[in-house]
């Protein structure tokens, strides 16, 4: 589950309804029909090193509020998450493929998906309504993304209001729907009193349906002044009755769910021109879902007394006969026996009258799933009491592929471990296969492929169907020099010890179980010693390990602790310094059997340790750096003038005393990257780094004397993940526009054992692992023939090169191309100019990762500065869009500094 996971920095910190820019898997550029759009993705891709990216496998870890099957193509399904983007099901691999990793830093809110819609008429089309918060936490308005290639690339229509993928009520839906008969028509239910919206041009533009009479009035907590709990949850679902239209004509009967307990269902019978409240409907509840069984003409509502997804104390299921207008309460249990609301509901498209529903807010002892084969007249349950507290289950739950789903628990009956689920707001029966069903929980996607065994009295098997869907929010990362390569601090599920990045760990950290781990550290010279702190309902908030995180024991804590804060381990493991929430900074020797308040440092300061001197610890608060030389007992204020706003994170270089890198700040004040080589007495800012949010270290490049430095930063006007192999003198962007993961500011670290490997935190897309193709490293010697006084556009003397020119896309009158320049010589380039002559009338329009001049057919492309240094064996890449009346034939020859390059 997740109540309000969001980029912390975002909390500190008249749009036209026109088609947005194309967002593609390779650098996002404007397609011809989108040139007028205001918002655009970054124009920078990879630099001199090419990285491959993957997740450190956890499998799941967050709430999946929506699963959508396409009704006309088998095995085409999508899932949406509240903060971690959208996914498409890959049947061959039995895994999910992420679709929104291109979402950039400035539009991080677009990683929250409030609704998905898959086009029945044209299955290649998919739509996503995106935006994470409707209040000030999210700086950008929402958008409807549209794709004609199943999410491989997207265009965006920005809305004049915000959407709330991580707001209360996010499990209701789907708010976005495509007319099954006329697929150019879409509807979107908006929150915050913004009403019902419609597009008639396949999602390119949107306008409000002014005839719709009710924008909703329900808020989870009207007394909340933050804009979170007191937001009107608005229009929550749209359902078409496809029988009331024909191919190419607008569907006439449309049903809409509204967050209004007295008026929760409306209908149009004239294609959306007029609307009216359906008479006789149930009151006192909110309809979370409205699903129509076209074979029987029954509209089913799952109702709850709240909007969910984690609250709800009463619920009902009602059936509406669209022919007769009769309403029938078909709830599986009496109202007095409910202590939960009903959420997920699905009808079996192969078996008219068969439907299933979930008790989404039944936390104890477990969630419940109900099934009916007679249109709701009678129901059976996934589990019953055989003799309280013992249970009789109709299913077996096999979590061997994701074993941590048991939470390491051993509860007493009637609870079980693992649980059947919680926050089960979405359940879908495969429209082509009555045996397959998937449902989302607060932590995973479960499913079965032998569902109909339920009806024959047998048991069916439920397993995680979540591979590839990585939804954790990452707070901290550590990569020790020995033992497991990766330790993580995560929101909601604590954290993991990864001994194999491609395998799901057996269990999250336990003893203690922390709801969210906020900080962890290991002793640099004794990496078996690990400490972690975090948030929990009750004490303890701290745990220790002496075997590199394989096993843990609980620590004591100072009086007044309310949250994890930050923690640091002495270089030799002899002591610890902790800055928890609710109490001031404290220090201890041993493993925290007693804590003593530190002096000279304010409460709430961020703390870290020196990675060589075990007596030296560091702290930071409100623009001032603090140093302790007595194990954290006393701190002294040192450097000032550092960022006083925003979030600041700093790390000390392993193996070297007093070498500290500090990243952070806010756009309204100081913001960037600083370094101290005198234990924090003074800092020097890196002038070329405009913004930075996290910094970490990894194994030095071959031949380099300084460890590789990794930052999540803005350099040269470009946001990305950067690496330096020369102590910050030069930087290489190592991610690309297809791999941005929205917000990456919480933590970053290299691997001290593998050159180039980096671990990057995300806020909803798990732990990203980057592997460099530049295994030999760029080196540090610029090589012979490099004269600082020569033209930086020319490579070193006798340098060799090869060029790969690829046309990646064509359309009428235009094309897109990518060019890769490889240094095939023995000396590094220190700046480059690449030339060629176009065949025909081709002209470059927009270019990224470089600049260009063109005279007639002759083109000269110059590096962008940050990618001008290209080591032997490495490459620099750039791309562009062009215009032509021909077919965009590739040039046949290229020159670098006037010398010919190989082609291929």
SS3 content of the chain, % helix, strand, coil (to 5): 5, 40, 60
Q: What is the 3-state secondary structure (H, E, C) of 395-429?
A: EEECCCCCHHHHCCCCCCCCCCCCCCCCCCCEEEE
| Backbone phi and psi for residue 758, each to the nearest 5 degrees, phi listed first | -140, 145
Catalytically active residues are 82, 492
Q: Which of 735, 750, 651 lies closest to 693, judged by CA?
A: 651
Q: Please, how many CA atoms are within 13 Å of residue 162, restricted to the half-sphere of its CB?
A: 24
Q: Please state, in angstroms and rounded to a whole number, the distance separating the CA atoms of residues 754 and 700.
A: 9
Q: Please state, in angstroms and rounded to a whole number, the distance separating the CA atoms of residues 70 and 178.
A: 11
Token pair belonging to 721: 């993940």
Q: Does residue 834 contact residue 893 with C-beta atoms inside 8 Å?
A: no
| Strand ranges of the sheet holding 624-628, from the earlier edge strand across to the other edge | 606-609, 617-621, 624-628, 636-637
Q: Please state, in angstroms and rounded to a whole number, the distance separating the CA atoms of residues 491 and 24.
A: 30
Q: Does residue 452 contact residue 435 with C-beta atoms inside 8 Å?
A: yes
Give every CB contact of residue 192 below 8 A, 6+ residues apart in sequence.
134, 161, 162, 231, 232, 234
Token pair belonging to 435: 């045996």
Q: Does residue 322 contact residue 313 with C-beta atoms inside 8 Å?
A: no
Q: Which residues pair with 316 in a beta bridge?
A: 303
Residue written as token pair 């003074």: 682
Q: Please state, in angstroms and rounded to a whole number, the distance separating the CA atoms of residues 313 and 359.
A: 10
Q: Which residues pair with 643 in a beta bridge?
A: none
Residue written as token pair 């001290």: 752
| Backbone phi and psi for residue 658, each to the nearest 5 degrees, phi listed first | 80, 5
Q: Does residue 864 contact residue 44 with C-beta atoms inside 8 Å?
A: yes
| Strand ranges of the sheet holding 298-304, from the earlier edge strand across to the other edge | 286-293, 298-304, 315-321, 327-329
Q: Please state, in angstroms and rounded to a whole number, the distance separating the CA atoms of residues 805 and 844.
A: 14
Residue written as token pair 């099954």: 180
């Amino acid at each position: 589950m997740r109540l309000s996971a969001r980029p912390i920095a975002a909390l500190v910190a008249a749009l036209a309804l026109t088609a947005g820019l194309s967002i593609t898997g390779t650098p996002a550029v404007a397609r011809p029909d989108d040139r007028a759009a205001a918002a655009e993705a970054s124009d920078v891709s990879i630099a001199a090193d090419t990285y491959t990216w993957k997740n450190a496998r956890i499998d799941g870890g967050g709430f999946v509020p929506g699963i959508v099957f396409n009704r006309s193509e088998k095995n085409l399904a999508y899932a949406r998450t509240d903060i971690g983007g959208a996914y498409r099901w890959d049947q061959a691999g039995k895994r999910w493929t992420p679709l929104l990793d291109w979402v950039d830093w400035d539009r991080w809110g677009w990683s929250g998906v409030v609704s998905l819609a898959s086009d029945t008429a044209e299955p290649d089309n998919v739509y996503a309504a995106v935006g994470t918060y409707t209040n000030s936490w999210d700086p950008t308005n929402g958008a409807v993304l549209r794709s004609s290639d199943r999410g491989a690339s997207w265009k965006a229509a920005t809305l004049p209001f915000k959407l709330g993928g991580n707001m209360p009520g996010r499990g209701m839906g789907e708010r976005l729907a495509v007319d099954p008969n006329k697929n150019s028509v879409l509807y979107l239910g908006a929150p915050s009193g913004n009403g019902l919206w419609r597009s008639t041009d396949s999602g390119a533009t949107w306008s409000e349906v002014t005839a719709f009479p009710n924008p909703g009035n329900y808020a989870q907590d009207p007394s909340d002044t933050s804009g979170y709990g007191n937001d009107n949850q608005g229009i929550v679902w749209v359902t078409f009755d496809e029988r009331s239209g024909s191919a190419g004509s607008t569907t006439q009967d449309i049903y809409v769910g509204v967050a209004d307990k007295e008026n929760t269902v409306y209908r149009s019978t004239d294609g959306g021109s007029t609307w009216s409240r359906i008479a006789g409907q149930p009151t006192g509840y909110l309809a979370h879902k409205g699903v129509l069984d076209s074979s029987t003409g029954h509209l089913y509502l799952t109702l709850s007394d709240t909007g969910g997804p984690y609250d709800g104390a009463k619920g009902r299921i009602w059936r509406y006969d669209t022919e007769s207008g009769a309403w029938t309460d078909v709830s599986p249990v009496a109202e007095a026996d409910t202590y939960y609301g009903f959420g997920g509901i699905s009808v079996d498209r192969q078996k008219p009258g068969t439907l299933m529903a979930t008790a989404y807010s039944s936390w104890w002892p477990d969630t419940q799933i109900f099934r009916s084969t007679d249109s709701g007249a009678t129901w059976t349950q996934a589990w019953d009491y055989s003799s309280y507290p013992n249970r009789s289950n109709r299913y077996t739950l096999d979590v061997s592929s994701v074993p941590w789903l048991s939470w390491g628990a051993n509860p007493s009956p009637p609870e079980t471990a693992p649980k059947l689920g919680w926050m089960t707001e979405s359940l879908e029966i495969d429209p082509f296969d009555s045996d397959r069903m998937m449902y989302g929980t607060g932590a995973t996607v479960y499913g079965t492929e032998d569902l109909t065994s339920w009806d024959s009295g047998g048991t069916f098997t439920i397993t995680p169907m979540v591979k590839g869907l990585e939804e954790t929010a990452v707070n901290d990362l550590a990569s020790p020099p020995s033992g497991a390569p990766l330790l993580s601090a995560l929101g909601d599920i604590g954290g993991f010890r990864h001994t194999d990045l491609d395998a799901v760990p057996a269990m999250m950290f336990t003893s203690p179980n922390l709801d969210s781990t906020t900080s962890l550290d290991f002793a640099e010279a004794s990496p078996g010693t690990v400490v972690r702190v975090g948030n929990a309902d009750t004490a303890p908030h701290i745990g220790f390990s002496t075997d590199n995180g394989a096993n843990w024991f609980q620590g004591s804590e100072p009086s007044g602790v309310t949250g994890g804060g930050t923690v640091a381990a002495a270089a030799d493991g002899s002591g610890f310094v902790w800055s928890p929430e609710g109490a001031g900074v404290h220090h201890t020797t041993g493993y925290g059997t007693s804590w003593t308040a530190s002096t000279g440092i304010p409460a709430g300061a961020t703390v870290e340790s020196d990675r060589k001197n075990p007596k030296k610890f560091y702290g930071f608060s409100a623009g001032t750096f603090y140093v302790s030389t007595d194990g954290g007992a006393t701190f002294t204020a040192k450097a000032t003038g550092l960022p006083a706003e925003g979030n600041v994170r700093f790390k000390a270089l392993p193996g070297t005393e007093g070498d500290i890198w500090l990243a952070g700040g806010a756009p309204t004040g100081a913001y960037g990257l600083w370094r101290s080589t005198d234990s924090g007495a003074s800092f020097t800012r890196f002038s070329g780094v405009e913004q930075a949010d996290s910094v970490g270290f990894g194994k030095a490049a071959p031949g380099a004397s300084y460890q590789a430095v990794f930052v999540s930063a803005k350099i040269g006007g470009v946001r990305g993940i950067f690496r330096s192999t020369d102590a910050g003198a030069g930087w290489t962007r190592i991610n690309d526009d297809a791999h941005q993961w929205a917000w990456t500011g919480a933590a970053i670290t290299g691997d001290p054992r593998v050159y180039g490997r980096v671990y990057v935190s995300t806020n909803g897309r798990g732990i990203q692992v980057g592997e460099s193709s530049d295994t030999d490293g760029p080196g540090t010697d610029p090589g012979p023939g490099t004269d600082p006084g020569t033209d930086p556009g020319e490579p070193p003397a006798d340098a060799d090169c090869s060029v790969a020119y690829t046309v990646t896309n064509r359309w009428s009158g235009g094309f897109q191309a990518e060019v890769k320049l490889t240094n095939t010589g023995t000396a590094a380039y220190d700046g480059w100019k690449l030339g060629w002559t176009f065949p025909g009338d081709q002209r470059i329009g927009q270019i990224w990762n470089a600049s260009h001049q063109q005279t007639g057919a002759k083109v000269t492309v110059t590096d962008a500065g940050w990618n001008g240094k290209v080591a032997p064996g490495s490459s620099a890449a750039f791309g562009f869009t062009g215009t032509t009346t021909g077919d965009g034939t590739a040039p046949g020859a290229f020159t670098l500094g006037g010398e010919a390059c190989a082609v291929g």
